Amino acid sequence: MSANGNSQDDHQSLSEVLRNTHARNLTAYKRLLSAQECSANETNEPPLDIFWDVVVITASDKQHRLVYEHRIDQKLARGQIPTSVKYHVVEDPPQSKIGGGGSTFLVMKVLREMYSQEFLENARVLLIHAGGYSTRLPHVSARGKIFTTLPQADSQQGIDVLDLKFVLYMHLLKDMPPGVFLTSADGIELFSSNTPFPSQPKARTITALAHPSSTRIGSTHGVYLLQDPNGIVDIDRKLRPEAQSARLLKCQQFIHKPSLETMQKIPMLIHGDASNDDERIVYTDSCYYFDPKTAEIMADTYPKLHPECDLEAWADILSFQNNVPSLESSNDQQIVKQALQEAGIALDVMVLNASRFYHLGTMQEFLEAVCVDKAFMSELNIRNKIEGLAEVDNLIGSIATKESYGNPHIQIDKPSYIENSSFSACSGTLAMPTSITETKVLANSILVDCDLPAGTIIPLNTCMFVLQLQEQEFVTFTFSIYDDMKKEARIDLEIPSAVFEELKIFQKVPLSAVIEQPRISSMDLSMAATYNSGFSLWNAPLFEIARTKQDSILCAIRRLNIIRNYLDAEKEGIIADADGFMPEIVGWTSLKTAAKRAREYFNPL
């Protein structure tokens, strides 16, 4: 989902400006990497030697931290990321729920304990909040959103979000004073300025980037009320995108997820032609910067916060100027607000009219971005060989879709995203119907690490991916891209098995139609105690563990066939006897447990 308030006529021009800026950033980043391999820069362009001094990624627990550290070590060993940077992964304290806001304050405390004051006063720090378990983007639940892979026109392996973040801010680094730049792993920010970015250091200041967005987008984000008596933002917005420049203004108020009614009541919050709803915009949040003095105040404040503070890195920090306490305000929110106010922290906004912000937090948003959204693909160097079909091949040679061009027995509907997958013959003994002659992947599908046997049919709106748990333990997950992974069904202590009727997969299919009765019966005794907080697609042990990847995929195909049989009256390609042969199953697991075990297996420590 993108946030942008420019008219349709300007979209192509804005995309061109952002595409060119991103291309320059990418060239500068590649030049930085190539300089690591040779003693002198061989290009005629001057070397760009300004980069982050420290990069910090936050992790929700120890397993996430170990996986992130291992992936970073791999990238360093291969020269894939700058080696001069100090990389750190900071995990949340055990048995805590501090949220992104609490984690921000924790990181400042950790950095102060690791480095001298002199170093931090002169260092540029990139802080990336990697999020938790990615329940809304389940195919990256084990590796984390920071290592989500996106297609790239000039790279068969694609680009992961960590590398992309390094590219996105190259031009900003030229002007950014020492301090901390905070961003999230599921947001993609593209921006350009005709003039240099404001670079004058301001002590005790948070400077937030602001993007023009529709009022609809504003209702789901944070919105800035700007101090702009001369209307310079609106003047700049009327220029062509290539002439627009970053404008630094004071922020009068930060409003988190205001309703349209609330926005209409606040003077000067909504910009544009009042007679044309399509032209009405607000300025919304994404990343923000704060200076070393502000970082010190955050470090001092962290010990005062409670382990369950659950603070948001945007809503609970950027709203510190608001003097009217909310009815929902917690003691920790008041501690943060008081600390920043008493220290005299100011909130500035860098308004970027020539910008777009994309959120890739859900399966639907991810598919829309990499397969459908022409602006996103153009701006981020994604050129799919077949329109609507995004391909990435990290590990296994040539991916299935490249082998299937012209193959009448393989049908892939669009849009679809296919990563590290193939349609070659798969060893296994689950009999597929002899009448099937085609492998079909229906539209709106995400396939990751899937080697599909001939005759497989992947239903509409499927997210399917494989996780390896141990040397000989694999599980293949299947969900609808519209499934609510965290939606909970309460267990009736008198009839525990009734929860299998209440909880649905693929939105409409009760679990009782997918899971065999003996398995349901075997779970009854333990469910009430284990799932007293609720039974969901995230935590329910519904998925078979097999000895081989091929057998786990065959279990998943059988599961999908049952789901298709329930959803569709057509019988073609459906296993007639659901009680027939199954590969050897060595256990059952949930995505919550499997993601943790996969992280433990991935990390050799």
Distance (Å) of CA 286 to CA 31, 58, 195, 224: 27, 17, 21, 11
Alpha carbons 558 and 136: distance in angstroms, whole number: 24
Strand-by-strand arrangement of the 389-392 sheet? 389-392, 416-419, 445-448, 462-470, 473-480, 543-546, 585-589
- The domain in which residue 209 lies consists of 2-367
The answer for residues whose C-beta is within 8 angstroms of residue 361's C-beta and 6 or more apart is 136, 137, 186
SS3 390: strand
pLDDT of residue 401: 44
| Number of domain units in the chain | 2
Distance CA 219, CA 6 (A): 18
Place of tokens 């992790």: 59
Q: Are 283 and 269 in contact (CB under 8 A)?
A: no
pLDDT at 128: 99
Q: Both 231 and 352 in a single domain?
A: yes
End position of a domain, from candidates 367, 402, 417:
367
What CA–CA distance (Å, rounded) separates 482 from 53?
40
Contact partners, residue 345, CB within 8 Å, separation at least 6: 204, 205, 206, 294, 297, 320
Q: Mind giving me the DSSP string for 164-189?
A: HHHHHTHHHHTTPPSEEEEEETTEEE
Number of Cβ atoms within 10 Å of the Cβ of 580: 10
Residues paired with residue 55 on neighbouring β-strands, in sequence order: 87, 126
Last residue within a domain, chosen from 323, 341, 367: 367
Distances (CA, A) of 14 to 4, 172, 192, 284, 382: 10, 18, 9, 18, 17
Indicate whether 328 and 461 sit together in one domain. Answer: no
* In-domain check, residue 197: yes
pTM for the full model?
0.91
CA dist 207 to 200, 256, 267, 517, Å?
12, 17, 22, 58
The reply to whether 9 falls in a domain is yes
500 domain-assigned: yes
Are both 305 and 393 inside the same structural domain?
A: no
Tokens at residue 410, please? 């393989």
Would you give the DSSP letter of residue 493?
S
Q: Kindly state whether residues 55 and 181 are assigned to the same domain.
A: yes
Closest of 474, 472, 412 to residue 447, by C-alpha: 412
Residues 302 and 275 in one domain: yes
Please tell me the predicted confidence (pLDDT) of residue 352: 98
Nearest Cα to Cα of residue 352 among 542, 171, 164, 543? 171
What is the residue-averaged pLDDT of the chain? 87
User: Do 208 and 345 sit in the same domain of this protein?
Assistant: yes
584 lies in a domain?
A: yes
Contact in structure between 585 and 554 (CB atoms under 8 Å): no
pLDDT value, residue 497: 78
Please provide residue 588's backbone torsions phi and psi, each rounded to the nearest 5 degrees. Answer: -130, 150
Say if residue 142 is in the same domain as residue 192: yes
Cα–Cα distance between 245 and 380 in angstroms, integer? 21
Same domain (yes/no): 420, 304: no
Burial of 38 (0-12, 13-18, 19+ CB in 10 A): exposed
Rounded CA separation 599/605 (Å): 11
* 86/53 Cα distance (integer angstroms): 6
Direct distance between the N- and C-terminal alpha carbons of the chain, in angstroms, rounded to an integer: 38
Whether 373 is covered by a domain: the verdict is no
- Domain membership of residue 21 (yes or no) is yes
378 vs 21: CA distance, rounded Å: 12
Question: Quick check: is 374 in a domain?
Answer: no
Residues 356 and 394 reside in one and the same domain: no
Q: Where are the alpha helices (DSSP H) in 91-148?
A: 99-114, 117-121
| Distance (Å, whole) CA 230 – CA 268 | 12
Please indicate, yes or no, whether residues 354 and 454 belong to a single structural domain of this protein.
no
Question: In this predicted model, what pLDDT tens digit does every residue of 447-466 receive, in sequence order?
Answer: 999 999 888 999 999 999 99
Q: Are residues 343 and 395 in the same domain?
A: no
Q: Is there a single domain that holds both residue 345 and residue 426?
A: no
Element (H, E) at 556: helix 549-567
Q: Is residue 163 part of a domain?
A: yes
Q: Considering 323, 338, 367, which residue would you say is the last residue of a domain?
A: 367
CB 564 within 8 Å of CB 457: yes
CA distance 564 to 566: 5
Task: Please report the DSSP string for 501-545 in residue order.
Answer: HHSEETTTEEHHHHS-HHHHHHHHHHHHHHTTT-B-TTTS--EEE
Instruction: Pick out the chain residues at pLDDT < 70.
Output: 1-12, 38-49, 324-329, 394-408, 424-437, 518, 523-533, 569-581, 603-605
Q: What is the pLDDT of residue 559?
A: 95
